Chains A and B, each alone.
Chain A
Amino acid sequence: MIEGRVWKYGDHVNTDLIIPGRYLDDYDLRSLAAHVMEDLDPSFSKKVRHGDVVVAGRNFGCGSSREQAPVALKHAGVSAVVAGSFARIFYRNAINVGLPVIVCPEAASRLVDGDIVVIDVEEGVLVRPSSHIRIEFKPLPGFLLEILNDGGLVPHMKKRCLK
């Protein structure tokens, strides 16, 4: 179960906004996390707390194939991204690095910055306890949930190799 504060952004949050190309020669996770969302919300990396949720509009993660985008969000403490829609490579990368991604246009339009939400990724339910909002979304297909539950594609493949 995920529980955290909502950080709300708009449509077309691209991968250059999530992690600018000028920081990509450095694969250090702390450095990536320190610059996450820098060109969109310069103080995000200082404000975000472990477990928080990014909520955005359409086409989240459009642009580059850089896997450092979901990696930077995850290592900054973000526990899930909820969006009206996702760009396809970001969506795949997020699952592969173990960051839950939830397609839910209703949540994207109803939630506001600062809300506290509780999300059940497997059941497909998002709740805002303070005002008794309950939104259902289509859970990920089983084989993708399995990758997420294993913590990403690396531990998932490792498990398969060991079998």
Chain B
Amino acid sequence: MRGMTFAEKVLSRASGRQASPGDIVNARIDMAMSHENSLLVMKAFGEMGASKIWDSSKVTILFDHRIPANTVKTAEGHKAIREFVRGAGLPNFYDMGEGICHQVMPEKGLTLPGTLIVGTDSHTTTYGAFGAFATGIGATEMAAVWATGELWLRVPETLRVRMNGTLSNRVSPKDAILHIIGDIGADGADYACVEFSGESVDSMSVAGRMVLSNMSTEMGAKAGVVFPDGKTNEWLSLRTKKKWEVVSSDSSAAVKDIFEYEMSDMGPQVARPHRVDDVVPIEEVEGRPIDQAFIGSCTNGRMEDLQAAREVLRGRKISESLRLIIAPASRETYLDALENGVLADLVRSGAVIINPGCGPCLGAHQGLLAQGERCISTTNRNFKGRMGSPDAEIYLASPATVAASALRGEITDPREV
């Protein structure tokens, strides 16, 4: 008998029927996350004539995109959301200061294996690193989720990505996923659930796996999952007392495609402007002068990313020709990096540390780019105009590559510094 994929199992359980690829199912949602766009959700919720949230324990709201408020309009939005949260009595609310939704949600134990999570943010796929089926949705349909606890979803086909071999020194999960996106393409996984596996994935930390799931949306994936193991269980057990049931994927299940990659001989990778899938080995772009370097975001703002940057900088000063901005992903990361001295070292090397949050990634504030400037960034999108002026260039790379580039003031291979 044919087995079932992870997506089929989770969506069958959530919809109470046999869910096969292409079917449209009405699924019950286990967790619903929104950030500042809760304002749009609230508006639609009210206009629909809804008044009561279906299950307040299953809704999470936090601020991360524009914190502290960058404009009066943002401040008004924050204020309105705080009032709504108080009125609705929502227990899972995190005001500015906690950090980026995709780091805070797992830290608070809200991304359990086998659950169905939706969020009004495209990088909601990050929670797939914990074995959840997690996907981004829009604000108006989130209002319907708040009202009913249900959402229609098309059951996705599955793509398997096997990553063989272990990553070499100063080559990170970010390099691996950039390479894969460059190969599969920005729409190569459209509407699909991507299952990551293989020796490279097994040997990655939980933080590294979050990079894979996070970036899977950049190839169009609906979800990107890594199946839980001892590391996942240990990570989550430290953060929640709740129980969970791991959902796996059957090897006999029908999948749309299988991609295999040999990772052990791959070097650092860079995505060139203005496409995430325009990925080249670092040798092709080395030496290009840089004006700004950024380390942070839901992709690469975790402890191992900050440590990778410190390890490359090793007490040396960054080039005077550029500025280095660093945003720890969450309060937890920030505190740990303060206490273990990583942030002090980075500041001594010349970095400017900003508060946990999305920061300059989406071009709202905290370090926008001027016309003609070039930025190298650990973030997830290098679209034209994304981080400021539409006439600026964004290169995407790993934390080690960004730190090495900051050291020299030009795109630099981290294995050479």
A interface, CB within 8 angstroms of B: 12, 14, 16-17, 20-22, 24-27, 38-40, 58-59, 62-67, 85, 87-89, 92-93, 96-97, 141, 143, 152-154, 157-158, 161-162
B-side contacts of A40, CB under 8 Å: 384
Residues of A near B70 (CB, < 8 A) are: 25
Task: Point out the residue from A25, A89, A157 that lies within 8 Å of B71, measured CB to CB.
Answer: A25
Contact B48 A154, beta carbon cutoff 8 Å: yes
A89 near B364 with CB under 8 A, answer no
Known contacts A27-B40, A65-B122, A153-B144; 18 further A-B pairs (Cβ under 8 A): A14-B383, A16-B384, A16-B386, A22-B363, A25-B66, A27-B39, A39-B385, A40-B384, A65-B120, A65-B139, A87-B190, A88-B190, A88-B191, A92-B137, A96-B140, A143-B24, A161-B48, A162-B49
Known: A22-B364, A63-B383. A97 touches B122 (CB 8 A): no
B187 with A12: CB separation less than 8 A: yes
In the complex, what residues of A have CB within 8 A of residue B77's CB?
Answer: 25, 27
Contacting residues of chain B (355-370) with chain A, CB-CB under 8 angstroms: 362-364, 368
A97 in contact with B140 (CB, 8 Å): yes
Contact residues in A for B122 (Cβ distance below 8 Å): 63-65, 89
Question: Can you pick out 27 interface pairs between chain A and chain B where the beta carbons lie within 8 Å of each other?
Answer: A16-B384, A17-B385, A21-B362, A25-B73, A25-B74, A38-B385, A38-B390, A39-B384, A59-B187, A59-B190, A63-B122, A64-B121, A65-B120, A65-B121, A67-B40, A67-B138, A67-B139, A85-B190, A87-B190, A88-B191, A152-B140, A153-B44, A153-B140, A153-B143, A154-B48, A154-B140, A158-B47
* A16 close to B385 (CB less than 8 A): yes
Count chain B CB atoms within 10 A of each CB in A20, A64, A88, A96 and give the residue with the most.
A88
Most chain B CB within 10 A, of A27, A40, A65, is at: A65
List the A side residues contacting B362 at CB < 8 Å: 21, 24, 64
User: What's the nearest-Cβ distance from chain B to residue A144, in Å?
Assistant: 9
Contact, CB under 8 Å: A158 / B24: no
User: By the criterion CB–CB under 8 Å, are A25 and B364 in contact?
Assistant: yes
Complex contacts, B152 vs chain A, CB 8 Å: 143
Report, nearest first, the 7 A-B pairs whose CB atoms are least far apart. Answer: A93-B138, A59-B187, A39-B385, A39-B390, A157-B48, A16-B383, A21-B362
**CA of A26 to CA of B384 in the docked complex: distance in angstroms?**
20
In the bound complex, do residue A21 and residue B364 qualify as a contact, i.e. CB atoms below 8 Å apart?
Answer: yes
**A59 surroundings in chain B (CB, below 8 A):** 186-187, 190, 220
Size bracket, chain B contacts: 35 or more
Q: Which single member of A64, A87, A141 contacts B24 (CB below 8 Å)? A: A141
Q: Which of B249-282 touch A at CB < 8 Å? A: 275
Residues of A within 8 A of B90 (CB): none
Q: How far is the CA of A27 from the CA of B36 in the complex (A)?
A: 12
User: For B39, what are the chain A residues with a Cβ–Cβ distance below 8 Å?
Assistant: 27
- Are A17 and B187 interface neighbours, CB within 8 A? no
Contacts of A12 in B (CB 8 A): 186-187, 275
- 0 or 1 for each of B273-306: is its CB under 8 Å from A? (1 = yes): 0010000000000000000000000000000000
B174 at the interface (CB under 8 A from A): no
Question: In angstroms, how far is the closest chain B Cβ from the Cβ of A5?
Answer: 25
Q: Are A87 and B220 in contact (CB under 8 A)?
A: yes
Contact of B40 with A154 in the complex, beta carbons under 8 Å: no
Selected from B49, B73, B119, B120, the residue in CB contact (under 8 A) with A26 is: B73
A103 to chain B, nearest CB (A): 11
**B85 within 8 Å of A (CB atoms):** no
Q: Are A88 and B383 in contact (CB under 8 A)?
A: no
**Residue ID in chain B nearest A69 by CB atoms:** B138
In the complex, are the beta carbons of A24 and B364 less than 8 A apart? yes
Closest A residue to B156 by beta carbon equals: A88
Q: Is B136 an interface residue (CB 8 A)?
A: yes
- In the assembled complex, the CB of A118 is this many whole angstroms from the nearest CB of chain B, namely 28
Bound Cα distance A40, B390 (Å)? 9
| Chain A proximity mask over B116-158: 1 for CB below 8 Å, otherwise 0 | 0001111010000000000011111101100100001000000
Residues A20 and B385 in contact, CB atoms below 8 Å apart: yes
B119 CB, min distance to chain A CBs, angstroms: 8
**Which B residues touch A97, using CB under 8 A?**
140
- Asked if B12 lies at the interface with its beta carbon under 8 angstroms from chain A, I say no
